Amino acid sequence: MTSSSTAAEAMAAAAARAQAYLEHVPERRVYPQENALRALDALCQQPLGAEGDALETIAMLDEVAGPATVASAGGRFFGLVVGGALPAALGARVLAAAWDQIAFNETTSPAAAQIERCAARWLLELFGLPEDSAVGFVTGATMANFSCLAAARRGVLAAQGWDVDAHGLWDAPRLRVVASEEAHSTVLKALRLLGMGVDAIERAPVDEQGRMRADALPPLDERTIVLTQAGNVHSGACDPIGAVVERARAVGAWVHVDGAFGLWAAAAPSTRAQIAGFEAADSWSVDAHKWLNTPYDCGMAICRVGAHLQHAMTATAPSFGSTAALPPREAVGSALTPEFSRAARGVEVWAALRSLGRDGVAALIERCCALARRFGAGLERLGFELLNEMTLNQIVATLPGREERCERIASDVRFSGEAWIDKTRWRGRDALRISVSSWATTEADIDRALRAIETALDGR
C-alpha cells in the first residue's frame, strides 16, 4: 500500500486507537514491562527511505510504542506535580492538531488569536490578577520563567534608563537577583540563559518547609529581581509572597512568582490564603499541563506591565513589521512568547477552563489536596514520617531510621506497575516524593498505591 490514506482516515484511525488506549488506561500497568521497552527497538530497525503508508505508520506507533508508554494519563501516576489531560482539553488538542493553525498572529490564525485572548481573560479573572496583564502561552513553566525574567530584566533596567534590547547587558547597570535555596532548577536555567549567572544570586534563607523567610531577605533595591515561589516541588509550601512584595514595592524591586503548580491554589477558596498577596507581584509563571491537566506543552507567562513582556519578545520581519508595534492589550501569539511559528496551545487552556468553569477548577484543586491527605494518612499508618505539612497536594515521606530504603521502595513500586512514585532527597533526608495532581485519580487509586507501597515494604 502506498501513502494514499487521507488525513481524515489517519485521524479516524488515530482516534479509534487513542480511544482504546484511554479505555484501558485506568486499569493498566503504570510503568511498562521490560519486554514492551525492548520492543521499542522495532521502531528504528528499518533504514529510513522505505515508504510507509499513513495508516500503517500509525498502527505501528500504537502497537509498538503504546505498550511502552508510562500511564501518566491515568490516576496512579504520582510524579512531577503533573496530571493526565482533562477530556475537553485532550479533545481540543486533537481538534487543534487537525486545524494545524499557525498561532503566530491575528493574520495567520484569527481563531487561535481570539481563543488565546479569551483564555487569557479567564485566567486573569480566575487568579484575580490585573485584567490588563499580558499572558503569553508558552511550552511550560520553564519558558514562562524565562519569558518573565526577560521582561523583568528589561523592566528593571528600563527604570535605570538602560535599554537592554538595544544595548544588551555588557555595560548595563549591575542587576541583583534574590532567590531562596529552594528556587526551582528551571529558574536557575532561565537566569543562565538570560546572561545572569547563578553564582551572583543572593540566597535568601528558608524555613523548615522550604519557604523563603521574608524577615531574613537581603536588603532590596531598585535594581533587584526577587524570585519567589508558589508551590515548593517538595513540600508544596508557598513563599510569603505578600510580605516579600511589600518590601520590594517600597524600593522599586521586581517580584516574580514561580507558580508552576502552586498558583492554582489561588483558584480554590480553601487554598487561596496560602499565596496571599501574590497578586501584587510583577510577573507570574504557571503551568497548564500540571494542575490544570491540559496536555503538554502548555504554560503561561503573565506580566503586569504587558509592554515589558511584549518588547522583550519582539520580532521584526519585512512581512509583518514589528510585533512591538501592537498596543500591548492587542498583542497575542508570538508577540508575547519566545517562539515564532507556534501551536495554538491556548486552545486546550480555553477548553479546560470552559469545561470546568470556575467551580470545577476549585473542585479539582480541592479534590487533589483531599486525596493527598488520604495518601499521607495511609503512609503514616504504614510507619512513614511525613516531612512536609501537606498544605497542598504534595507528600514527602520517609521511614525513620531506614531512610535509605526509600529509593528501593519507589523503584519496586514503579516496577510493580501499580503506581509511579519518586524518591528524592530533601533537606538532608532521603524520602518518597508523591504528588496528587490529576483529575483522573480516585480514592481507589490512592488505596491501590498504598497497597503497592506496603508490599514493597514487606518484600524487604
Ligand X SMILES: *Cc1c(COP(=O)(O)O)cnc(C)c1O
Residues lying near ligand X in the complex (CB under 6 A): 81, 140-142, 184, 186, 229, 231, 233, 258, 260-261, 287, 299
Residue number with CB closer to ligand X (146 or 375): 146
148 touches 284 (CB < 8 A): yes
Rounded to a whole number of angstroms, the minimum distance from the CB of residue 339 to ligand X is 14
Residue number with CB closer to ligand X (105 or 293): 293
Length of the chain: 460
Residue 277, CB-side half-sphere exposure with 13 Å CA sphere: 17
Q: Pick from 52, 77, 79: which is nearest to 64 by CA?
A: 52
Rounded to a whole number of angstroms, the minimum distance from the CB of residue 186 to ligand X is 4
Rounded to a whole number of angstroms, the minimum distance from the CB of residue 289 to ligand X is 6
* Chain centroid offset of residue 335 CA: 21
Residue number with CB closer to ligand X (231 or 328): 231
* Chain centroid offset of residue 399 CA: 29
312 touches 155 (CB < 8 A): no
| Other beta carbons less than 10 A from residue 423's beta carbon | 18
Residue 288 CA to residue 299 CA, distance in Å, equals 5
CA distances from 15 to 10, 12, 107, 259 (A): 8, 5, 30, 34
- C-alpha dihedral sign at 316, 320, 326, 332: negative
CA distances from 64 to 5, 52, 58, 84, 301 (A): 21, 15, 10, 21, 37
Rounded to a whole number of angstroms, the minimum distance from the CB of residue 258 to ligand X is 5
CA distances from 61 to 44, 54, 95, 233, 362 (A): 11, 11, 20, 33, 37
Residue number with CB closer to ligand X (263 or 309): 263
Rounded to a whole number of angstroms, the minimum distance from the CB of residue 297 to ligand X is 7
Residue number with CB closer to ligand X (31 or 261): 261
Residue number with CB closer to ligand X (258 or 418): 258
Rounded to a whole number of angstroms, the minimum distance from the CB of residue 233 to ligand X is 5
Rounded to a whole number of angstroms, the minimum distance from the CB of residue 394 to ligand X is 10
CA angle 453/67/13 to nearest 5° reads 140
Residue number with CB closer to ligand X (165 or 297): 297
- C-alpha dihedral sign at 68, 69, 75, 76: positive
Residue number with CB closer to ligand X (260 or 371): 260
What 3-state class would DSSP assign to 284?
strand
Rounded to a whole number of angstroms, the minimum distance from the CB of residue 266 to ligand X is 15
Report phi then psi at 83, rounded to 5: -135, 160
Residue number with CB closer to ligand X (141 or 241): 141
Rounded to a whole number of angstroms, the minimum distance from the CB of residue 144 to ligand X is 7
